[in-house]
Amino acid sequence: MQIEDRVRQLVEEKIADRDDLFIVRIKMQGNGILEILLDGDQGIAIEDCAKVSRHVGFHLEEENAIEQAYRLEVSSPGIDSPLLLDRQYQKNIGRSVRVKTNDGAKREGKLLAATSTTVTLEESVKEKGKKATLVEVEIPVEQIKETKVLISFK
């Protein structure tokens, strides 16, 4: 069993009673950092990360699951992290996002909807000499390279 698979089992055990929390990514990096990214439908508290860290750390030590020295990091994705899961898209409906497509194009707008196959944005389109109009644009998920939430300080 890969170490990421065992860690996923341990995290799922710990958050089984919390329907609002979910795993974004688990990755054992080459530099010895075992990264666990968690999120929640309403965000995630540092206490939740600490509980998962203690649970996973305890079991990995008990099982001597990792031979070399490692550092366990449990956190939520950073504000500049791309959206990776459908559930993250759902959580961010109504927020402004930037979508980079596989052909290099960038689209910005309000995230209106997201399904397993498409993401719908409300873009502001400005034609020369006219007022900007709002247009709904559907982008197929397979054409999306990366989506990030835009931070507004207004």
Give tens-digit pLDDT for 28-77.
998 999 999 999 999 999 999 999 999 999 999 999 988 888 999 999 99
Q: At 128, is the pLDDT very low, low, confident or very high (cuts 50, 70, 90)? A: confident
For 68, left (φ over 0), alpha (ψ -120 to 50), or beta? beta
Out of 3.40.710.10, 2.60.40.1220, 2.40.160.10, 2.30.30.100, select the CATH number for domain 86-149: 2.30.30.100
Interacting residues of 97 by C-beta distance below 8 A, sequence separation 6+: 83, 108, 109, 110, 111, 121, 147, 148, 149, 150
Confidence bin at 11 (pLDDT 50/70/90):
very high
Residue ranges of the chain assigned to CATH 2.30.30.100: 86-149
Give exposure, 99-131, as e/b (b: 16+ Cβ within 10 Å): bebeeeeebebbbeebeeeebbbeeeeeeeeee
The average confidence (pLDDT) of the chain is 93
Q: What is the pLDDT of residue 132?
A: 86
**Contact call for residues 11 and 27 (beta carbons, < 8 A):** no
Residue range 141-150: mean pLDDT, rounded: 96
1 pLDDT band, cuts 50/70/90, is low
**Fold adopted by 3-75:** GMP Synthetase; Chain A, domain 3 (3.30.300)
Tens-digit pLDDT profile for residues 77-90? 988 899 999 999 99
CA distance 152 to 154: 6
pLDDT at 125 over 80: yes
DSSP state of 72: E
130 or 105, which is more confident? 105
Q: Which has the closest alpha carbon to 55: 78, 77, 38, 79?
A: 38
pLDDT at 66: 87
